[in-house]
Amino acid sequence: AGVRRIEAVCGKSADQLLRNEQSLLKEIKGVIGQSTDLVADIKKLQEEKKALEKELSAQNLQNTGAKLTELFSNPESLDGNITLVKGEIPGADMDVLKQLGYDALEKSSSNTVTVLGSKDEEEGKVYLMVSVTNDLIKEKGLKAGALVGQLG
């Protein structure tokens, strides 16, 4: 009831394909080590990679948390009653900035706006996160999204 596509090789092409596959398998065995169960070894390497990435992410979050604490120790005052905490978090992606925004709301007292930024020079992107405490939202009508729009 549908179109099926079958690709096949035969003759000398099949022989060459088989030799290439065997060569690739030998190279993989050389890189991983002469193991009898390559699939298990590759799965183990993938699990180790995932665990290391998770550990690195946790370490980065801890380091950025320390930077956030540093920024909170030196806030600015706007209009006498609004506290502005701002700064750059080097190496942070948008997920990290979002988490720091939640952390900032937990750390901040009333009347606080937090503006955090980061840049990814490899991708040519700039990330910006703004958090506003609930009292400023209710009393002054400030909205984080509108502030990001004005800053961006």
Q: Using CA atoms, how far apart are residues 61 and 77, in angstroms rounded to an integer?
A: 27
Q: Is residue 102 part of a domain?
A: yes
Q: Is residue 133 part of a domain?
A: yes
Q: Is residue 66 part of a domain?
A: no
Q: How many domains is the chain built from?
A: 1
Q: Is residue 44 part of a domain?
A: no
Q: Is residue 24 part of a domain?
A: no
Residue 22: pLDDT band with limits 50, 70, 90 = very high
Find the domain containing 113 and state its range: 75-151
Q: Using CA atoms, how far apart are residues 129 and 16, in angstroms rounded to an integer?
A: 55
Residue 118: give its domain's CATH number.
3.10.310.40
Q: Using CA atoms, how far apart are residues 50 and 30, in angstroms rounded to an integer?
A: 23
Q: Is residue 21 part of a domain?
A: no
Give the mean model confidence (pLDDT) for residues 10-34: 91
Give tens-digit pLDDT for 42-71: 899 999 999 999 998 888 878 887 888 888
Q: What is the pLDDT of residue 92?
A: 82
Cα–Cα nearest to 117, from 91, 144, 136, 143: 91
Q: Is residue 99 part of a domain?
A: yes
Give tens-digit pLDDT for 70-119: 888 888 888 778 888 899 888 888 888 888 888 888 888 788 889 999 88
Q: What is the pLDDT of residue 43?
A: 92
| Assigned token pair, 77 | 């005052």
Q: Is residue 19 part of a domain?
A: no
